[in-house]
Amino acid sequence: MDYEQVLQEIQLEVSPLLNDGKVADYIPELAKIDKSNFGMHLLTLDEQNFAVGQSQVKFSIQSISKVFMLAMAVGECQYSVFDRVNVEPSGDPFNSLVQLEYESGIPRNPFINSGALVIADILLSEFSNPKKEFLQYIHRLTGVSSIDYNETVATSEKALGYKNAAMVNLMKSFGNIHNEVEDILDLYFHFCSIEMTCEELARAFRVFANHGRGVVDSYSYLSESQFKRIAAIMLTCGFYDEAGEFAFSVGLPGKSGVGGGIAAILPNKYSLVVWSPGLNNKGNSLAGMKALELFTTKTHTSIF
């Protein structure tokens, strides 16, 4: 399979879509990003790299960091994490509050904001310096020690993060939040503000494609069972109320973020990342979804 050629075809085919999406302007710093950006990076388990477009430009990974948060929490606390957050698709937008009230403050899954806020609370309780240790975790996953938080993006989101604040407060009223609201929000906004390139994200997700094991030293970040469960949550909950559509048209476990990135894996084969900042009305990258659909169609790969 000529992956280089496939990626070039895809770049050409999605280029008319780049203007259709809308950048995430509820975070003022993200509203400044140019919609014409498009990058893609494929990393196979036998260490071949293929890329097109702006695959080396750093962007805000936003909710993609929820996968790393969950992996770190499960690595530390195993499945007790799931006493406080469920594993069901929500069928609601990523920032919705409605289910939280009638489900007694237990979020549907760790990949919507409420669920990730509970995970941030767990990391805050478990680690002495979670901000530093989370970055170190990502440095180990990628081998890139320059990856960092973008303080301007974190501050920009914090200034207007009323809904996330409402969620933490509501969950605290049900007893499902143990630390101070402000501390959790600060940690969560920092996690979302991390900037990475398509290539760096593909490197991090290679560990998931490799059943939780790293490259060089075969270090196990996750057990086989932990990996399988996290991948299952990516497939069923990685795209909020568009998780069904992503499984339907792309057929890979993955995770999106409002920075316009999507990371996906085909276990045992590859990790694949696309970045295109224009979002559809569900908050997922519009051209990115199409690019991944074209990729699995052209390469005859998907988990099905």
Contact pick of 192, 231, 291, 292 for ligand GLN (by CB under 6 A): 192
The whole-angstrom separation of Cα 226 and Cα 289 is 26
Residues 54-83, interacting with ligand GLN (CB under 6 A): 62-63
Residue 155 buriedness (CB in 10 A; 0-12 / 13-18 / 19+): middle
> Under the criterion CB under 6 A, does residue 283 sit at the interface with ligand GLN?
yes
Q: Which is nearer to ligand GLN, 52 or 194 (CB)?
A: 194
> Under the criterion CB under 6 A, does residue 278 sit at the interface with ligand GLN?
no
> Under the criterion CB under 6 A, does residue 293 sit at the interface with ligand GLN?
no
Contact pick of 94, 205, 246, 295 for ligand GLN (by CB under 6 A): 94
Contact pick of 29, 121, 157, 242 for ligand GLN (by CB under 6 A): 157
> Under the criterion CB under 6 A, does residue 260 sit at the interface with ligand GLN?
no
Q: Which is nearer to ligand GLN, 91 or 267 (CB)?
A: 91
> Under the criterion CB under 6 A, does residue 234 sit at the interface with ligand GLN?
no
Output the DSSP codes for the chain: --HHHHHHHHHHHHGGGTTTSB--TTSTTGGGS-TT--EEEEEETT--EEEEESTTS-EE-GGGHHHHHHHHHHHHHGGGGGGTS--S---S-TT--HHHHHTTT--S-TTSHHHHHHHHHHHHHH-SSHHHHHHHHHHHHHS-TT-B--HHHHHHHHHT-HHHHHHHHHHHHTT---S-HHHHHHHHHHHHH-EE-HHHHHHHHHHHHTTTB-SSS--BSS-HHHHHHHHHHHHHHTTGGGHHHHHHHT-S-EEE-TTSEEEEEETTTEEEEEE---B-TTSSBHHHHHHHHHHHHHTT-S--
> Under the criterion CB under 6 A, does residue 258 sit at the interface with ligand GLN?
yes
Q: Which is nearer to ligand GLN, 25 or 126 (CB)?
A: 25
Output the DSSP codes for 224-292: HHHHHHHHHHHHHHTTGGGHHHHHHHT-S-EEE-TTSEEEEEETTTEEEEEE---B-TTSSBHHHHHHH
Q: Which is nearer to ligand GLN, 142 or 164 (CB)?
A: 164
Q: Which is nearer to ligand GLN, 165 or 215 (CB)?
A: 165
Q: How far is the CB of 251 from ligand GLN (least distance, A)?
A: 21
Q: Which is nearer to ligand GLN, 192 or 265 (CB)?
A: 192
Please work out the total of residues on this chain that contact ligand GLN, with binding judged by CB under 6 A: 11
Q: Which is nearer to ligand GLN, 253 or 283 (CB)?
A: 283
Contact pick of 39, 105, 257, 288 for ligand GLN (by CB under 6 A): 257
Q: How far is the CB of 158 from ligand GLN (least distance, A)?
A: 10
> Under the criterion CB under 6 A, does residue 37 sit at the interface with ligand GLN?
no
Q: Which is nearer to ligand GLN, 44 or 193 (CB)?
A: 193
> Under the criterion CB under 6 A, does residue 164 sit at the interface with ligand GLN?
yes
Contact pick of 11, 95, 297, 301 for ligand GLN (by CB under 6 A): 95
Residues that bind ligand GLN (CB under 6 A): 62-63, 94-95, 113, 157, 164, 192, 257-258, 283
